[in-house]
Amino acid sequence: MACGGRRPEHRGPPELFYNEDEARKYTHNSRMIEIQTQMSERAVELLSLPEDQPCFLLDVGCGSGLSGDFISEQGHYWVGIDISSAMLDVAVDREVEGDLLKGDMGQGIPFRPGSFDGCISISAVQWLCNADQRMHNPAKRLHRFFSSLYSALARGARAVLQLYPENAEQLELITTQAMKAGFTGGMVVDFPNSTKAKKFFLCLFVGPSGVLPTGLGTECGDEQERKESKFSKERLRYKTAKGKSLKKSRDWILEKKERRRRQGKEVRADTRYTGRKRRPHF
């Protein structure tokens, strides 16, 4: 795609593109929120985390914390890093449960070795392929990111990075730098024959290479693929996680309040009205 201003990376560096107006979309645009949530759920699914065991995850390019919301709903703990102050301000206003850090992933992940049980990233890594400053070298910044990420992950952990590559050359640049940093793994492509539903997930392993997951919609025709894509969208919206309470239900609210208490946060006492739908006022 030519630099015609259509791709966000072509409009300026991320810390300027994701200003207050853009950040506000992640709280008001229902379509954008839905897509972000779906990709986050798929990324966590590809991590293949152990069941019934809370894990400590890193969210690279966490933005307004939508991905972190899903991580918290699954009973895990997380830290998010993002370069945009406006997006992080939205996350703070939304009172997300994870810890937030402002930082440039191209300068490396500033955490101790083996800190995390896994990592996800939604729509962020492709930004490193652009030189926004004269001193920026995309290959070096990608290698610094992947090297520090490899160190920050525990042995046997996975990183699942959803991205929008501009072309085959950009995709090769990203995967090459990941492998140079020590990762094994590869690209998982969901619905490869669909223009709208097609999604790229770079699935990386720390240590011996595991079995690369199969992409969704890879064994069906166009008509079946459209049906599966539509069914998957509805299923992701309404289904409950394994053993987890339905979102916004009373049990879900009580579980969320209990997690916040364990984190030392001030939470209102539970009453018989907790989780009860309020009657509209006219």
The per-type count for the chain, helices as H runs and strands as E runs, is 9, 7
Return the pLDDT at 244: 54
Return the pLDDT at 190: 94
| DSSP assignment letter at 279 | P
Backbone torsion region of residue 12, taken as left when φ is above 0, otherwise alpha when ψ lies between -120 and 50, otherwise beta: left
Nearest to 104 by CA among 64, 69, 148, 66: 148
List the pLDDT tens digit at each of the 282 positions of the chain: 334 447 766 666 665 566 677 767 777 778 888 888 899 999 999 999 998 899 999 999 999 899 999 999 999 999 999 989 888 999 999 899 999 999 999 999 999 999 999 999 998 998 888 766 667 788 999 999 999 999 999 999 999 999 998 889 999 999 999 999 999 999 999 999 988 889 999 999 998 777 888 899 876 444 443 333 333 333 334 344 445 556 667 777 777 777 666 666 677 888 876 777 666 554
Q: How far apart are CA 266 and CA 147, in angstroms?
A: 38
Return the pLDDT at 11: 65
Q: What is the DSSP string of 134-166?
A: TT--HHHHHHHHHHHHHHHEEEEEEEEEEE--S
Yes or no: say if 75 and 69 are a contact pair by the CB < 8 Å rule.
Answer: no
Return the pLDDT at 253: 79
| Dihedral sign, Cα of residue 167, residue 169, residue 175, residue 181 | negative
Return the pLDDT at 245: 57
* Domains of the chain by start residue, with CATH: 8-206 (3.40.50.150), 240-268 (no CATH)
